[in-house]
Structure 1
Amino acid sequence: MRAIGFKRLALLLGAALLALLLVGAASLSRPWHALEFKTFDLWTSLAAPHRSTLPVVLLAIDEPTFQEVQQRWPFPRSLHARLLDRLREDGATAVGFDVVFADPSAPEQDAAFAHSLAAAAAAGLPVVLAATREKVESASATLWTDVLPLPAFVAAGAQYGNAEVQPDDDFVVRRMPQSEGSFSAALARAATRHAVPASSANLIAYRGPRGTFDTRSYYQALEPGLLPEGFFRGKVVLIGRSALTASELQHSQADLFNSPFAALGGERLFPGVELQATLLDNRAVGDGLRLVPEAWSLALVLLALTVLLPATLRWHPGAVALLTAGLVGGMALLSWLLFLQFGRWLAPLFPMAATASIYGASALTAYAQTRQRARQTRAMFSQYVPAAVVSRLVAEPELLRLGGEAREVTLLFTDLAGFTTLSEQLSAEQTVELLGLYFGAMAPIVHASGGTIDKYIGDALMAFWGAPLDDVDHAEHAVRAAVAMQEAMGNLCDALERRGLPRIAMRIGVHSGRVVVGNVGSAERFSYTAIGDAVNLAARLEGANKAFGTGILLSGDTAALLPANMLLRVLDEVIVKGKSQAIRVYTPCADAALCRLCADTLDAFAHREWAHARAGLEALQRALPGDLATLRLLERLNAACNLAEDANWSAAQALDKL
C-alpha cells in the first residue's frame, strides 16, 4: 500500500512540476507581463486616491491657457519670466519647470528669463528645469546625448534634472527613475532643502487619477486677482503641459502617458507634469513601492505544492477545488494587503497561475488514476453479467446492434450505508475484498429470482426484473429478492467479521415503471441497461430509506402489482421532483394488524383528521418504540395542527428534501 501511495504521489508531483514548467515559460512572454501590468493598475486604482502630504500645486499649460494668452507653443520666455516673478513674490518654496529650455530663442526673451532665474536664486527660491536625452544615430553607432538647459539659465542659478521616464509597452509609467540626477530627485532636494536619500523604491505609488494634485491653469498665475494673494506661499509649484486637444501642441509635444486608472474605467491620459508631481511626492515622502523578492512567489508556489498534492490524494475532488480557490484567493488578498498597507508589490499572477496549474495537473492525473482503477474493478466483476442476457445474445446475435425496447420492469437499487466513510478506513485490498464478498452474496439472489444485474456503481448494485426476458410477476420477484437480500446480510456480516472486516448495512429502493432497455454504448463496447425516469425514482427511494429508518423502500406503483398475500406497511406520501402527483411509499412488514394501523393512520392524516391520526401514531409508538417513520409523521402532524383551517397544506412531502 505504501508503494502504491508513493507511486501515486510521484505521478502527481511529476504532473505538477510539468505544469509549473509550462507556467514558468509562459511568465516570460509579453502577454503575461501585460497581465501583470493590468493587475498593478487594478491595485493602484483600488488604493487611490491618497492626498499628498507635500504642498504641491500644478500650473497646467492647458486649453484655457492657450485661449487666454493667445500664444503658440513654445511660449515666449518672457511669459515664463513673469510667472516666475509672481511665484517668487508670492512666497513659493520651490519651482519646477517640466519644460526643456535647450534651444535659444530671441535674445531679449532668454535675457528676461535668465534675469528672473537670477532674482529667484538671490531670493532663495530654487528653480529646477527639465533636461532630457536625445538619440543620435550614425553609420557606426547609436549614441545618447544629454539635452540640457541653456548655459545662461544654469549660470543664473537654475538647477536641472533629467525628466525622462520609461513607459512600459502600454505607455503607462510604473517604474521609478533610479538616477539621483532625475528631475524629481533634484526637485525633491530643492523642496526639502536637504539631501534626499537615494530611493529604494522600484515602482511608483500613484496618489490618484488625473486631478488628484491641486491643479490650476498657467494663465491664472499670470493675471492678478484670479488667485488669492499668498496662494503659492510655502508650496512647491510645477509647471508643465497638460493640453489634451490643443492644436498648438503636436502629438510628440503633448507630454501625455496612459493612466493606470483606466483599469477601472478612469481617464486614460495622464499629464507628464502630474506624473512628475507624483515622482516628487514619492521621493520627498519616501513611500514609493518596493518589489517583493521573487523568493516570496516561489515560497507561495512551494506552499501550494505541499498542500495540494497530499490533499488530492486524501480529499474529495470538490474539497480540493475549494482549497485551491482559497489558496488562489488568499494569494490575491496577500498581494493586495502588501500593496495597500506596506507599499510592497507582489505580482500575484505567477503564484496564482502556478497554484491553479498544480491543481489542474494533479486533478487530471488523479482522475486518470481513478478511471484506471475503475476499469480494473469493472473487469474484475465482469463475472456478474447475467446468464440470461448471455444466452439470449448467443441465440440472437443481432441484439449486439445498438437499440432498445420499451418495457414495464421493476428496478432495484442497493447501497451500503456509510460506505464512503468506511472505505476511507480500509486499505484498497480490504475495500475490494469487502465488495467482492458483498456482491458475491447479493448477485446469486438477484439471478435466482430472474433478475438482471445492470451494473455495479462503487458500492451500489442496480438490477431489474422483466427484461430481457418477459416476467409477468417482475414486481413480486423483485420485492422477494429485496427481502432475501436483507435476510442474507446477517450471514454476510458474520463472514466479514471472521475476515477482520467491519459489519455493513444495506439500503434498497424498488420501483416499477416503463423504461427503455437495450444495448447502450458503441459497437465496440456496450452494456445492457435500463434508461428512464423510473430508474431515477428507484435510486431516490434507496436514498430515502435514511429518512424513514428502513432497509427496503418501494413505491406505490410496485405495491399495486404485488399479490394480496405480500404484506406492506405504508409509511408516507411523497412528491417526486418534476412530478405533481404524490405517491405512497411502503416497506415489507409481516404484521397484518400493524399494516392496517399504518394505512388507517396515514389516511386520517391526509384528510386532516388530526385526533384520529394522533391516536394512530401513539399506537404505533407503543408498537414500534423509536420508529423513525412514526416520529417524522408525528412531527409533521404537530406542525399541521398549528396551521389555520384554510391554510394551504399538503399531506405529501418532497422526496428530494428527505
Structure 2
Amino acid sequence: MREPEIDTSKIPRDCMKSAGEPTYSIRSFFHHLQKSQLRMALLVAGLSWLLFAIVQLSGTLDALELGSLDWRFQLLPRLYQADSSVVLVAIDQNSLDFFEHQSVHWPWPRQFYGLLVSYLHRAGARVIAFDVDFSGHDIDRLEIEGHESDSAFADGMDRSGNVVLAAQLSIQEQGDQAGGSLVKRFILSGTPGLPSQPAFTRVVAPIQAFQNGAAKLGIVNFESDVDDICRRVSLGFRFAGGWVPHFSLASYAEANGLQENQLDSLLAARVRSNEGRHVIYWYGKGGPTGAFRYYSFHSLIYSELKIQQGLPPDVPLRQFAGKIVIVGGSAAGLFDFKPTPFTSLEPYPGMEIHATVLSNLLDGHRVREMRSVWPYLLGLVLSLAAALIFFMARKVLYSVPAVVAVGLLYGGIIFLVFYHSGWWVPLVGPEVSLSGTFLASAIVSYATEGRQKRQLRKAFNRYLSPQVVTEIVENVDQVELGGKLIEGTVYFSDIKDFTTISEQHSPKELVGLLNEYLSLASDCILRNDAMLDKYIGDAVMAIFSAPIPHPDHAKVACLTALEVQRTLGEYYTEKSKRHGTVNFKTRIGLNSGNMIVGNIGHTNRLDYTAIGDTVNLASRLEGVNKMFGTDIIVSESTLNKAGGVVRARELDFLRVKGKQIPIRIFELISENQALPDITEEKLGLFAEGLNLYRAKDFARAIARFEAILRIDPHDGPSTTLRDRCDTLSKEQLPDDWDGVFTLTSK
C-alpha cells in the first residue's frame, strides 16, 4: 500500500529537525519562561510551595512552630491576668523542713490533709482540689494508726463536701500491676467532643474511702507536644465505656455546680486545638512570684491547730473565702515540676498547670488555633510574594530588603493578632515558605538570568568600560546601546596652564603628576554615580544620567564640581607644604540638556559616549573660564535644573561660536549656604554692575567693578567686565544693542 504524501510546507521550520534531535529542552523551556517574569515567578513559587507543603506535612516544622507560640507568650505583655479566685497551697521545701524538725517525715500522715480541709472549709473555700496521689493507705505511726489517719481525712472531706481528688489513667500492659478502680459516679456517660485518643484501661485512683468522701474526681495525666513541653491538655479522657473529666474541668464543675449534662455541652462547645485538646493560655512564669498566689502548706496546718486551741491563726481565714484552692507539690524532691513555655524562667509545678487551665475555663481565656490547612494557604501567599518581589524587582539590593520587610511585617501582624485576640496564626511554616521561595528564586535567576548577564559582560568587555558594562548588565531594560536620546548633564574639565607646567617637568614626572590629578578628580566623579566618559590629555569628560537615567543629574553634577575643586584644593595645599610640588588648578564647564548616547566608533573599537550640542556647549563653557578667570561655569539650564542647591552669580549673556542663540552663563560659587559678608557684598555690587553694563551705563558699571576689585583685586569676572565696559564706552553701539557678547573662538 502506498504511503500518503506529506505537505512539508505546512510544517513549522522549527519542527523540521534531523532524526534524534530533541524538539524541546529544559534550557529552551526556561528561556521561554524568562521572557515573562510573571510566569517565572509563578512557576518558582508553585514548586517551592509544593516542597514546603511536603516538609510541613512531614511534621518537621512542628517543634519550631510550637516554639514560636512560646515566644508570643514570653515576649508579649499579658492580654489576660490569672483569675484571682484560684490560689495554690504548696507542699514546698519550707513545709517539708518544718515537719522534719517536728520529727514528721514525708509522706505525712493523712490527718494533716484532714486538718487542711477543716481549715479551708472553716474559711469558706469554694473548692478544695488535691493534686496529690492518695492511691495507697496511710502507714501506721507511733502517734496514730494508718486507718485512723485515713478516716480523719475522709471525714474531713465528707464534712466539707467540696473536695476534688486526682487520678491518673494509663493503658494496661503485660507485666503491669493491676490498677485501682473508680466509683461509678465519676465515670460520665458518652464521649462528647473528646480528642482522638485511646481508651484507657488502667487507673491509679484514691482509695475507696477517699473517693466516697470526694465531691468530684479529675484526671491529672501530663500531656506534652513533640518537644516534650506542655501546651495542650485533654479536657476529658475515655475510660470504662464513658469519660472522666480533666482535674481542672472537674474543679471548674464543682465551683459552678455543673451537672453531667452541662459538662457534656461545655466540652462539646469549647474551642480546642486541631487535635481536640485545649490550648493553654499562659499567664507568665510559675512559682510563688508568678501569676498565682501561693501559701505554704505548713502555715495553714499550724493555723488550724491554733484555731482549735482558741488562738488566732497565722493566716487569716478571710484570705480563702470563696477561693478555689489547689493543693500540690512544689518541693524539688517531690518531682512534680513539668516542662512548660516558662520553665526556663522558673520551675513550673504540675498543680500550677491545672490552676492555669482552671483560670482559662473560669474566665473564658483561650488560644484559638487555626485549622491545619492555614499554614499551607499562608505559605502559598508568602511564596507568591517572595517570587514576585524577586523577579519583578530584579535587583538583590531591592529584593532582599523587600522580602525581609514582608517577613517582618507578617511576623509583626501575627504577634499583634495573638496579643489582641488570642488567635494562634502559623508563623514558622509560612516564613519557611517565604525564605525557601526567595532562595529558589535566587538560584533559578542565577541559572537563567545570571547566565545571560555573564554572557553580556563577556561580550561587551571587549569594547566598553567595566562601569558601563555593569550598568548594562544590571539594567538591561533601561539601556540602549544602539543610540538613545536622553536628558543629562555633561561635565568638562582641564588643567589651567597645563602646557606651561608640562614644559617644566620630564615626561615621567608629568605622567605621574597627571595620573595623581586624574585619580583625585575621577574618584569624586565616580563616587557621585556619574559615567566617566573619557580622558583627553589633561581633560576629563563625564556624563551625569547615562547610561542609567537620574532625575537629579544637574544637582549632582554641580555638587560634584564643587567637590572636585574642594578635594583638589585641600590635597595640593597640604602636599605643597610638605614637598613644594606643582599645584594643579582645574577649570570646569557644566551644561544640561538633551544628547544622544550610545556605542560610537569602529566595529572593532566602540566607545559608549555622548554627542550633540549639549556636549559641545559644555566643552565651550569650560574654555570660557579662561576669559573670566573662574573655576566653574554652568549654563542657565544646569542652574535651573539644580533646583536651588547651589549659589551662583550670573557672568554674561554670550553667543558661542557657531550658534545664533545666546545663553546666560553663571559662575558656580558654593553650595546653597550663607556666605561671608564681604562675599555677599561682592555679589551685590557685581549684579548692579552687570545690570548697568546691559543698560549701556558703562561709567557707573565700571565704578561698581572697580569697587569689587578694591575688595578683591583677584576677582576675574570684575576685571573682565571692567575692561569690556572701558572698550565699549569708546565705541558707537547700535540702538538695539542687547548686551550679548559673541565669542570669536572656541
TM-score band (shorter)?
Answer: 0.5 to 0.7
1:334 aligns with 2:380: no
| C-alpha distance 415-82 of structure 1, shift in aligned 2 (>3 A) | closer
| C-alpha distance 542-279 of structure 1, shift in aligned 2 (>3 A) | farther
Q: Deviations over 1:239-269 (max 9, x none)?
A: 100013xxxx3xxx41001341256xx22x1
In the TM superposition, what are the counterparts of 1:22-101 in structure 2 within 5 Å?
A: 22-27=51-56, 32-45=61-74, 46-48=76-78, 50-53=80-83, 55-70=85-100, 71-101=104-134
1:234 aligns with 2:310: no
Q: Is the 8 A contact 2:329 2:351 kept in 1?
A: yes
Which of 346, 351, 358 is the equivalent residue of 2:425?
Answer: 346
Once the two structures are TM-superposed, the CA of residue 304 in structure 1 deviates from its matched residue by 2.5
In the TM superposition, what are the counterparts of 1:410-449 in structure 2 within 5 Å?
A: 434-438=480-484
Which of 172, 176, 190 is the equivalent residue of 2:229?
Answer: 172
Q: Is the 8 A contact 2:89 2:296 kept in 1?
A: yes
Q: Normalising to structure 2: TM-score of the pair?
A: 0.55
Q: Is the 8 A contact 1:93 1:235 kept in 2?
A: yes
| C-alpha distance 212-543 of structure 1, shift in aligned 2 (>3 A) | farther
Query: Which consecutive unaligned segments of at least 5 residues does structure 1 have?
Result: 387-410, 440-453, 467-473, 490-504, 515-537, 573-583, 625-658
Aligned residue identity for 2:131: D
Which of 288, 300, 311 is the equivalent residue of 2:378?
Answer: 300
Which of 342, 346, 352 is the equivalent residue of 1:261?
Answer: 342
Question: Which has the higher Rg, Structure 1 or Structure 2?
Answer: 2
Counterpart residue number, 1:161 = 218
Counterpart residue number, 2:271 = 200
Aligned residue identity for 1:168: D
- Matches of 2:691 and 2:146 in 1, distance apart? 110
Counterpart residue number, 2:166 = 129
Q: Is the 8 A contact 1:85 1:116 kept in 2?
A: no
Identity, in percent, stands at 21
In the TM superposition, what are the counterparts of 1:178-189 in structure 2 within 5 Å?
A: 178-179=235-236, 181=244, 182-189=246-253
Count of residue correspondences: 494
| C-alpha distance 30-66 of structure 1, shift in aligned 2 (>3 A) | farther
Which of 141, 145, 153 is the equivalent residue of 2:202?
Answer: 145
1:612 aligns with 2:682: yes
Aligned residue identity for 2:128: V
- Matches of 2:94 and 2:119 in 1, distance apart? 19
Counterpart residue number, 1:276 = 354
1:103 aligns with 2:136: yes
Q: Deviations over 1:441-467 (max 9, x none)?
A: xxxxxxxxxxxxx9xx9x98655447x
Which of 453, 475, 481 is the equivalent residue of 2:538?
Answer: 475
SS at match of 1:240: strand
Counterpart residue number, 1:400 = none
1:286 aligns with 2:343: no
Q: Deviations over 1:72-107 (max 9, x none)?
A: 322111111111122222221111110111122237
Once the two structures are TM-superposed, the CA of residue 192 in structure 1 deviates from its matched residue by 1.4
- Matches of 1:623 and 1:374 in 2, distance apart? 59
- Matches of 2:677 and 2:448 in 1, distance apart? 55
| C-alpha distance 67-380 of structure 1, shift in aligned 2 (>3 A) | closer
1:220 aligns with 2:299: yes
1:190 aligns with 2:254: yes
- Matches of 1:158 and 1:42 in 2, distance apart? 39
SS at match of 1:294: coil
1:570 aligns with 2:632: yes
Q: Normalising to structure 1: TM-score of the pair?
A: 0.61
Q: Deviations over 1:368-403 (max 9, x none)?
A: 5443343444466467469xxxxxxxxxxxxxxxxx
SS at match of 1:222: helix
- Matches of 1:299 and 1:191 in 2, distance apart? 42
| C-alpha distance 117-463 of structure 1, shift in aligned 2 (>3 A) | same
Q: Is the 8 A contact 2:360 2:366 kept in 1?
A: yes
Once the two structures are TM-superposed, the CA of residue 39 in structure 1 deviates from its matched residue by 1.5
- Matches of 1:64 and 1:596 in 2, distance apart? 93
Once the two structures are TM-superposed, the CA of residue 292 in structure 1 deviates from its matched residue by 0.7
Once the two structures are TM-superposed, the CA of residue 157 in structure 1 deviates from its matched residue by 3.7
Once the two structures are TM-superposed, the CA of residue 355 in structure 1 deviates from its matched residue by 1.6
Once the two structures are TM-superposed, the CA of residue 60 in structure 1 deviates from its matched residue by 0.1
In the TM superposition, what are the counterparts of 1:356-367 in structure 2 within 5 Å?
A: 356-366=435-445
Once the two structures are TM-superposed, the CA of residue 165 in structure 1 deviates from its matched residue by 1.5
- Matches of 1:414 and 1:375 in 2, distance apart? 10
- Matches of 2:147 and 2:589 in 1, distance apart? 97
Aligned residue identity for 2:91: I
SS at match of 1:270: coil
Q: Is the 8 A contact 1:59 1:239 kept in 2?
A: yes
Q: Is the 8 A contact 1:149 1:160 kept in 2?
A: no
- Matches of 2:110 and 2:422 in 1, distance apart? 41
Q: Deviations over 1:610-640 (max 9, x none)?
A: 211234367789999xxxxxxxxxxxxxxxx
- Matches of 1:155 and 1:370 in 2, distance apart? 79
- Matches of 2:446 and 2:591 in 1, distance apart? 30
Q: Deviations over 1:295-351 (max 9, x none)?
A: 333332232244444443433634443442332223223322332222221231111
Once the two structures are TM-superposed, the CA of residue 158 in structure 1 deviates from its matched residue by 4.8
- Matches of 1:338 and 1:221 in 2, distance apart? 43
Aligned residue identity for 1:207: Y
In the TM superposition, what are the counterparts of 1:553-632 in structure 2 within 5 Å?
A: 570-571=632-633, 598=667, 608-616=678-686
SS at match of 2:72: helix
- Matches of 1:166 and 1:284 in 2, distance apart? 21
- Matches of 2:35 and 2:249 in 1, distance apart? 58
Q: Deviations over 1:155-204 (max 9, x none)?
A: 23453221012123554311122325221121111111113411433311
- Matches of 2:255 and 2:670 in 1, distance apart? 93
Query: Which consecutive unaligned segments of at least 5 residues does structure 2 have?
Result: 1-30, 177-197, 238-243, 274-278, 304-312, 486-521, 547-552, 569-585, 594-612, 635-647, 657-661, 695-746
SS at match of 2:128: strand
Q: Is the 8 A contact 2:633 2:666 kept in 1?
A: no
Counterpart residue number, 1:534 = none
Counterpart residue number, 1:535 = none
- Matches of 1:611 and 1:188 in 2, distance apart? 90
Once the two structures are TM-superposed, the CA of residue 363 in structure 1 deviates from its matched residue by 4.0
SS at match of 2:667: helix
Counterpart residue number, 1:527 = none
- Matches of 2:670 and 2:377 in 1, distance apart? 66
- Matches of 2:615 and 2:590 in 1, distance apart? 10
- Matches of 1:600 and 1:287 in 2, distance apart? 70
Q: Is the 8 A contact 2:630 2:667 kept in 1?
A: no
- Matches of 1:319 and 1:542 in 2, distance apart? 35
Q: Is the 8 A contact 2:161 2:214 kept in 1?
A: no
Q: Is the 8 A contact 1:78 1:110 kept in 2?
A: no
| C-alpha distance 184-295 of structure 1, shift in aligned 2 (>3 A) | same
Q: Is the 8 A contact 1:128 1:186 kept in 2?
A: no
Q: Is the 8 A contact 1:63 1:243 kept in 2?
A: yes
Aligned residue identity for 2:538: A
- Matches of 1:619 and 1:360 in 2, distance apart? 67
- Matches of 2:693 and 2:456 in 1, distance apart? 45
- Matches of 1:332 and 1:414 in 2, distance apart? 40
